[in-house]
Amino acid sequence: MHKAQGVTVDRAYVLATLHMDRHAAYVGLTRHRDGVALYYAAEDFTDPVRLARALGRERAKDTTLDYGGEDDPVRRYAERRGLDMLRPESEIVVQASVLQPEATLAPASRRSRFAGFRLDASRPAELPAPVLTPPLPAPARVPPERERQRAELEGLAADYARAWLDAERMRQAALPVLPHQEQALMMAGRGLDGFGAGASRDMQAALDAGPGLAEGAWTPAGMQALLTAMGGMRRDRLALEGRGREAVRAWDGLEQAYEAAGQRYAWDEQREAGTRLEAFAQELKRDPQLDGLLRERGRELGIEAGSRLDRVVQAPEVDGRLLRSVDIEHGP
């Protein structure tokens, strides 16, 4: 690893071992121009948290004194730092300068400032009350489970960013995305969805909005920016999905009222319900995000195939022909 110092390559592939520390990791992970991939064996590191802890540790450099024939680590430590009592003293001897006594005159005696002062033995001296300083609060400790989840999410996000960046370079060059690149992107998306439902959609939306996030995912700051953008897309997606479910429920209520009025031959009520259904469909077409969500993921949100609402969201616009095809009448 140390022989790679000063070397620069387009792509670097680093195999992590138990003997690496933060110094070796820094050398291995900063040799690239375009990208770097870090590999490790499951026999050495059972999870990414152990890998991160090993590659981030600080330790002193080993010397030949650490690999002597003696088995006592305490003795080796003492010898390295000059604490061995059996080692002969240094041959370099510094002679201390001998100061000759100088003739001095005895100072004239004078009265002490405490002369004549007497303590009152009948009254014990009062000691000042001790000042108690409250202990500083202990720093907040992140639970190990959250650390594990964070490390897992960062690994999955890095895999997706790498696969997305490879495919995006092909698209930018007006070249077809290769099958193995599509497979890698699909597998990375499945990994994210296994961590959280819809996570691959959020990551895809974040990278589509900010392509530069993929290139910075190899640094801690870049990974934080990518996950922050992904979280924002997740909040927007959940809010839109909530609107979609509410729209489906509102349409179902209007449709039930429409059908009930027809069964009672209450034509005025049916006409009013039909007018409200038509207005609802017109309003839906004026909301591209909601209309697109119901068109693409209507089954997930409760829209039955072939229903009135399904035909409305699949149609490009709402007109009289569409209303007649979905059997929305305004009475006789």
pLDDT of residue 136: 67
Enumerate residues 6+ apart whose C-beta is below 8 A from 128: none
- 132 falls in which pLDDT band (50, 70, 90)? low
* pLDDT tens digits, 284-317: 989 999 999 999 989 988 999 888 889 888 888 8
pLDDT band at 98 (very low <50, low <70, confident <90, very high): very low
What's the mean pLDDT when you consider all of the chain? Answer: 79
- Percent over 90 (pLDDT), the chain: 28
Higher pLDDT, 14 or 55: 14
Which tens digits make up the pLDDT trace of 235-262? Answer: 999 999 999 999 999 999 998 998 898 8
For residue 70, pLDDT over 60 is answered with no
Is residue 231's pLDDT more than 60? yes
For 150-197, write each residue's pLDDT tens digit: 899 999 999 999 999 999 999 999 999 999 999 999 999 999 999 888
**What is the distance between the alpha carbons of residues 204 and 84, in angstroms, rounded to a whole number?**
62
What integer is the mean pLDDT of 38-51?
83
Please check whether residue 318 is in contact with residue 278, taking contact to mean a CB–CB distance below 8 angstroms: yes
Q: Average pLDDT in the 109-133 region?
A: 60
| Position 106 confidence tier, pLDDT thresholds 50, 70, 90 | low
Residue 37 pLDDT greater than 70, yes or no = yes
The pLDDT of 102-108, averaged and rounded, is: 51
pTM attached to this predicted model:
0.48
Cβ burial, residue 226 (10 Å; 0-12/13-18/19+) = buried
Identify the pLDDT of residue 141: 61
pLDDT band for 18, please (50, 70, 90 cuts): confident
Q: For position 253, what pLDDT does the model report?
A: 93
What is the distance in angstroms between the CA of the first residue and the CA of the last residue of the chain? Answer: 86
Report domain extents, the chain: 2-55, 149-218, 238-325
- Cα–Cα dist 30/9, whole Å: 10
Q: Name the residue type at position 3.
A: K
What pLDDT does residue 6 have?
74
The Cβ of residue 203 has, within 10 Å, a number of other Cβ atoms equal to 27
Would you state the pLDDT for residue 78? 61
Decide: 258 and 270 in contact? Cβ < 8 Å. Answer: yes
Please give the average per-residue pLDDT across 66-90, as a whole number: 56
Is residue 331 over pLDDT 50?
Answer: no
**Res 76: pLDDT:** 64
